Amino acid sequence: MTKVVEISPTTRLEGHSKLTLKVDDQGIVERGDWLSITPVRGIEKLAIGKTMEQVPKIASRVCGICPIAHTLASTEAMEASIGCEIPTDAKLLRTILHAANRIHSIALHNILILPDFYIPGTEKKFNLFANEQPARSVMARIVRIREIAQTIGAIAGGEAIHPSNPRIGGMYYNVSPRAKQKMADLAKEGLVLVHEQMEFMFDVIRNMQNREFVEVAGKQIPLPKKLGYHNQGVMATASMYGSSSLDDNPTWDFTRWKETRPWDWYMGEVTIDLEDPSYPIGGTTKIGTKANPQMEACTGVPTYDGQPVEVGPRARLATFKNFDEKGTFAQHIARQMEYPDCCYTILRCLDNLNTSGKVLADHIPQGDGSMGWAANEAPRGSNIHLARVKDGKVLWYDMLVPTTWNFPTCSRALTGAPWQIAEMVVRAYDPCVSCATHMIVVNEEEKIVTQKLMQW
């Protein structure tokens, strides 16, 4: 007999989301809906009528975790629309900034997921705030990795959060030889630390994969060998940086994208009839509560070739490096493998960076309304911004951010998991829910949205 249990809100991720799960008599998920419940901010609508210089700054404010990814994707979407090529040294600085942001984000994600895992060789779960080993040395290493990444980002981008150096047509300024050397020294120190952290995380993740049970709220919960498997495809535009419609051979196709509204995807109204007050933190939703994912979801559902796709580290490695592992633990493994790639990328870019080179295009067109898009491979996956710019003003703007792509795919990946570890499946996507929340009712042309919401 199917029952419905709800975890709301989910924890140890950015933003607010919930899980509405239909489960069988053994508590195994038959259908899972994972959806954003973060309030809508309507960044795309705020962009209309603004100058093309203003919009990347607005877009970066969608989130405090992903401002670098959104600044770069938004800037490059404007450049793609107006047909502006940027100098090589500007591109190198952007790539350094991008790679530093990914290192910082992986390290942060390590902190968020480690409490789910056991210290290898023990029955103790990680408490990174414990004043004992190995937690003390692991936490110190993670903090230093993040400090290194944020410092490199601040040098290349102006600030580590909401970077001020990128601009339409390139960058405001190049870096000095001394700043270049400092970034190289930091990247070399970081390379040693990320190798250590990667190997440590491999041991922790593989140890977890070999377990039969995990403990949740004092109960032993079976751990499926195929946790998080799904039958959807993967999508990635590059192993490190990304692509845009200015490329000779773009690696993303605008015509293959379609967006479905949530009421055509998520389950309709259900009544909660399974409750566990002991579930951390604060228990699950009380029995008798009504839930309606169709009406509560604050995102659209993007598809590529008519299907949801997974984006992120596993998708990148599967697309460009023949990585063939699947599921939740494969996502964790792939993410750690990107640690050293980021440091090597920074060092390669610095080798090629001419600190005397120009970083701003000689001519910056004002645009004729053509559609341009740019995708960068943000820590969580393909981050695609689309724009139409005419006479320097934005006519139309859209953001297809990684967690938006992953919501429907992760929902399918929940099938077969014990409901008590569904959050582990979600966390493997390193969600940034605030970035993904973009639906808004704007005018009479979208009357059906208003009607649906009013009925609910």
Instruction: Determine which helix (DSSP H) or strand (DSSP E) holds 216, and give its type and residue range.
Output: strand 213-216
- 435 carries a ligand binding annotation: yes
| 63 marked as part of a ligand binding site | yes
CA dist 86 and 83 (Å) reads 10
Q: Is 66 annotated as a binding residue?
A: yes
Q: Which of 266, 77, 82, 106 is nearest to 166 (CA)?
A: 77
Q: Sign of dihedral through CA atoms 300, 302, 307, 309?
A: negative
Supply 426's token pair.
């979600």
Residue with token string 């493997």: 428
- The token duo for 151 is 């410092």
Provide the CA 186 distance to its chain's centre, in angstroms: 25
Measured in degrees and rounded to the nearest 5, phi and psi for residue 240 equal -125, -65
Alpha carbon distance 189, 343 (integer Å) = 9
C-alpha to C-alpha distance for 316 and 355, rounded to whole angstroms: 31
| Residue 261: count of CB within 10 angstroms of its CB | 16
Calculate helix-pair angle for 67-82, 135-157, nearest 10 degrees.
30
What distances in angstroms separate CA 108 from CA 24, 86, 138, 139, 282, one per listed residue? 35, 32, 12, 10, 24
Amino acid at 72: L
Collapse the DSSP code of 90 into the 3-class scheme (helix H, G, I; strand E, B; otherwise coil) and give the result. helix
**Which amino acid is located at 92 in the chain?**
L
- Nearest CA-CA partner of 221 in 423, 417, 425: 417
Q: Which residues fall within 8 angstroms of residue 451, CB to CB, at 6 or more apart?
A: none
Q: CA 382, CA 111: separation in Å to the nearest integer?
A: 23
Residue 432 is labelled as binding a ligand: yes
Q: Report yes or no: 146 and 189 within 8 Å, Cβ to Cβ.
A: no
Annotated binding residues for Ni(2+), written as ranges, equal: 63, 66, 432, 435
**Which parts are annotated binding residues?**
63, 66, 432, 435
